[in-house]
Each structure stands twice: as C-alpha cells, then as structure tokens.
C-alpha cells in the first residue's frame, strides 16, 4: 500500500524554495544552466526554469535556461538493471562552458545516477560549477554525493520505494512511499 508523503502543493512549494535558493546561491540567473535527468528530472528542471523566469526579471526564457542530460550510457549498472531507452541530451543554446550547471533529478538515492551525470557532463564541456537539486533525498548513498538543493528529505528503508508522479507524465503531482510494512 502506497502512503502519500507530498501533495501537489507540497511539490510546488519545494520547487519554489529550490528556485529561490538557486538564485540566491548563484546571485541571479546569469551564467546559469538547469539540466534535468530523464525522465522526471526534465519536467522538474523545466518547472524550476519557469519559476526562476517569473522571479528574476533578467532571467533568460525557460527554453534558454533549461535542458536535459541523458545519462543512460554512462551508468555503471547497465548489465544489472533494466534501463530505459536513451533520450537525446538537449543543452540550452549557450552550452555549458563557464556556466553554473544545476543538475535536477526527482529522487537522490545511491548517487549512481548523479555520478553518471557528472561523467556525461564532462563529455559536453567544462562548467564553472555543478550543483545538484532533487525533489526528494531518501538517503542510502553509495557515492560521496549530496544535494545542494532539496525539496524534501525523506529517510526511508532500503526495501521501500519512493514514487514521484508528475502531472506532465502521470496525470497528477504526488510523491508516495510504499513497502514500509516489510
């Protein structure tokens, strides 16, 4: 049985807070690129870019601020786990060289996806800095990776599953946790 842990309003508040924190730490939106990791990280990155564009008058339009970074072929667990079909990486027109890149993902767990993202990023250019924004940090890291911007810290057991559902993909905004009764 899945238990709701974040509602649509909770997700929106978390993304608004993350957007403000990104702007504050970067001192504005100049030299900023927001890259979502497919699938749901791309939607979250787009929402963050739209929020930043509403907050910051000098921010570039969301289409010039956000993109996507496919990490599928950079994963170290391809032989062990089922993967999705690779999606094209889409960088904003200015690229990433000399920029502050904010990687966006839905759930931070072992850190393997983010390690793969760092490898993929290195093949695309040389950013000035790389930051990490996640909607949910559930713990259980296998790599020394931490998020700079977190919507919700959600300690969980390894046997539990965190499900992020977003309106653009799933028809609703919600975060649930299941498997807590094991």
Output the domain CATH number for residue 130.
3.40.50.2020
Tell me whether residue 181 is in a domain: no
Domain that holds residue 104: 8-21+28-71+90-159
User: What is the residue-level pLDDT of the chain in tens, covering all 182 positions?
Assistant: 899 999 999 999 999 999 999 999 999 999 999 999 999 999 999 999 999 999 999 999 999 999 999 999 998 877 677 677 888 999 999 999 999 999 999 999 999 999 999 999 999 999 999 999 999 999 999 999 999 999 999 999 999 999 999 999 999 999 999 986 64
pLDDT at residue number 4: 95
Q: Which residue from 135, 133, 141, 138 is spatially nearest to 178, judged by alpha carbons?
A: 138
């Amino acid at each position: 049985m899945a238990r709701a842990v974040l509602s649509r309003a909770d997700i929106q508040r978390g993304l608004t807070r993350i957007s403000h924190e990104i702007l504050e730490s970067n001192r504005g939106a100049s030299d900023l690129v927001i890259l979502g990791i497919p699938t749901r990280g791309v939607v979250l990155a787009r929402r963050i870019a739209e929020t930043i564009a509403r907050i910051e008058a000098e921010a570039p339009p969301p289409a010039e601020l956000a993109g996507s970074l496919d990490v599928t072929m950079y994963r170290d667990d391809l032989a062990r786990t089922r993967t999705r079909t690779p999606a094209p990486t889409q960088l904003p027109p200015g690229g990433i060289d000399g920029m502050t890149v904010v990687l966006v993902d839905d759930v931070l767990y072992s850190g393997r996806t983010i390690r793969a993202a760092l490898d993929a990023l290195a093949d695309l250019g040389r950013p000035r800095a790389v930051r990490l924004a996640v909607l949910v940090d559930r713990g259980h890291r296998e790599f020394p990776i931490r998020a700079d911007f977190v919507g919700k810290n959600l300690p969980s057991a390894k046997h539990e599953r965190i499900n992020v559902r977003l309106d653009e993909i799933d028809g609703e905004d919600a975060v649930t946790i299941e498997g807590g009764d094991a």
